[in-house]
Amino acid sequence: MPPLARRNLFHDKIRLAVTLTGITFAVLLVVVELGLFLGFSTTTSSLIDRSRADFWIASRNVPYIEQGSPFSERKLYQVRAIPGVASAEKYIVRFAGWKHHDGGQETVQVVGFNVSESSQQVSGGRVEKSGQLMGGPWNITSGSVADLNAPNAVMVDDLYWKKLGITRVGEVFEINGYRARVVGTTHGIRSFTTSPYVFTTFKNAQNFGLLREDQTVFILVRAATGTDLKELQRDIESHVSDVDVLTTSRFSNMTRSYWMFTTGAGMAVLLAALLGLIVGIVVVTQTIYATTMDHLREYGTLKAIGAPNSYIYRVILQQAAMSAVMGYALGIGVSLFLVRSSAQGGIAILLPWSMAALIFALTLLMCGIAAAVSINKVTTLDPAMVFRN
């Protein structure tokens, strides 16, 4: 088959460049906005998703993790007494003031968990590393969870060291008037609120968070193997009063939904992605339409010599598809660069394969819509035009 579509597309290099630039930027915009949405969404609930708990017990009507309010830790013992509960631990997520060496202040989120739980997480005769603890940090790059047992010990993600004025492990700061010594580092644990997470022991977190000694903010529950989770949830609800018992996925969704939709942050990002798509469609439609208009006489000739409309549609669709593939490849290439760069920053742009595939489909759709406008023009083309000069 003579490569009419390809030749037409590559014939005018400047127009091709404009077309590809339009598609590339549309892809880039959509990737960045959807990637930001996904990154934000994942970040808002990362503590919950990585908690390794089956249930979160919170005060009544807590809408999201940062809004937890203290309750008596005596409920912990009621929970532990319920059959089917393998383990239950107190857990704190609480805003606090971090004081720089120069006296400046930053707001942080203190995350307090039961560090001694690590000694219970025995597997094959050895204590497992972090990430196996309920509510503990993950991606530890220096130090260990065990180091948090030291007095006033805290662990801070390296993405926020500069923000908090940390230059090395061992440095001492103040959190709400209490000493805090940095004993380790994680990597990639971002906070959506821009207040960095500071992991520490439950006891330290009570101090940093200005809570009473008998208070906790959450109780994390892990069910025994083989337990019916729905039944266990009902049991906890019936035995422990004045609390909500939320599955991890439910609490994760509540938190994501709050930050993404109740605050409007997510809608703004999604709207920007939609705008990117619309801008892309407009640019590509314009350029593909202009290319079609440039070759209108050729399409008229094809019709005159007997080509069915479907043949001409195929030529236009091939042009659109080739534009889509090239623009997508360029757009995704630039996007990958941005995604990698964002891994070193406080805002994550995520690009999982499923999203890359979705955006490819969107790019094809965008170019398909653009081609449809041109096809509509060609459909009404009078082949007798070839006799008019």
Q: Which residues bind other proteins (CB under 8 A)?
A: 1-4, 7-8, 10-11, 297-298, 301-308, 311, 383-384, 386-387, 389
Q: Which is nearer to other proteins, 215 or 301 (CB)?
A: 301
What is the β-pairing status of strands 178-186 and 140-142? antiparallel
Task: Report the nearest approach of other proteins to the CB of residue 138 (Å).
Answer: 57
Q: Which is nearer to other proteins, 9 or 269 (CB)?
A: 9
Task: Report the nearest approach of other proteins to the CB of residue 303 (Å).
Answer: 7
Residue type, 166: I
Helices (H), 98-152: none
Q: Which is nearer to other proteins, 224 or 384 (CB)?
A: 384
Task: Take residue 236 and report the two structure tokens written for it.
Answer: 């906890």
Instruction: Provide the 3-class DSSP secondary structure of residue 218.
Output: strand
Task: Take residue 15 and report the two structure tokens written for it.
Answer: 């127009």
Q: Which is nearer to other proteins, 36 or 322 (CB)?
A: 322
Cα(104)–Cα(283) distance, rounded to whole angstroms?
Answer: 48
Cα(188)–Cα(186) distance, rounded to whole angstroms?
Answer: 7
Cα(318)–Cα(294) distance, rounded to whole angstroms?
Answer: 16
Q: Which is nearer to other proteins, 18 or 338 (CB)?
A: 18
Task: Report the nearest approach of other proteins to the CB of residue 329 (Å).
Answer: 23
Q: Which is nearer to other proteins, 43 or 292 (CB)?
A: 292
Task: Report the nearest approach of other proteins to the CB of residue 342 (Å).
Answer: 42
Count Cβ neighbours within 10 Å for each residue of 328-344 and write b for 16 or more, e otherwise: bebbbeebeeebeebee
Task: Report the nearest approach of other proteins to the CB of residue 307 (Å).
Answer: 5
Q: Which is nearer to other proteins, 3 or 177 (CB)?
A: 3
Q: Nearest to residue 282, comparing CAs of 358, 274, 34, 377?
A: 274
Q: Which is nearer to other proteins, 2 or 226 (CB)?
A: 2
The H or E element spanning position 99 is: strand 85-99
Task: Please tell me what DSSP assigns to residue 40.
Answer: H
Residue type, 58: A
Q: Which is nearer to other proteins, 99 or 297 (CB)?
A: 297
Task: Report the nearest approach of other proteins to the CB of residue 370 (Å).
Answer: 20
Task: Report the nearest approach of other proteins to the CB of residue 386 (Å).
Answer: 6
Task: Output the CA angle 331-333-338, nearest 5 degrees.
Answer: 95
Q: Which is nearer to other proteins, 261 or 311 (CB)?
A: 311
Task: Report the nearest approach of other proteins to the CB of residue 376 (Å).
Answer: 17
Task: Please tell me what DSSP assigns to residue 201.
Answer: E
Instruction: For helices 296-304 and 265-294, give the axis angle rounded to 10 degrees.
Output: 60
HSE-up of residue 189 (Cα within 13 Å, Cβ side): 29
Rg (CA), the chain: 29
Task: Report the nearest approach of other proteins to the CB of residue 275 (Å).
Answer: 35
Q: Can you tell me which residue has the tokens 């909500």?
A: 244
Q: Nearest to residue 76, comparing CAs of 226, 247, 215, 205?
A: 215
Cα(115)–Cα(105) distance, rounded to whole angstroms?
Answer: 27
Task: Report the nearest approach of other proteins to the CB of residue 304 (Å).
Answer: 6
Q: How far is CA 70 from CA 66, 74, 217, in A?
A: 12, 12, 4
First-last CA distance in the chain = 29
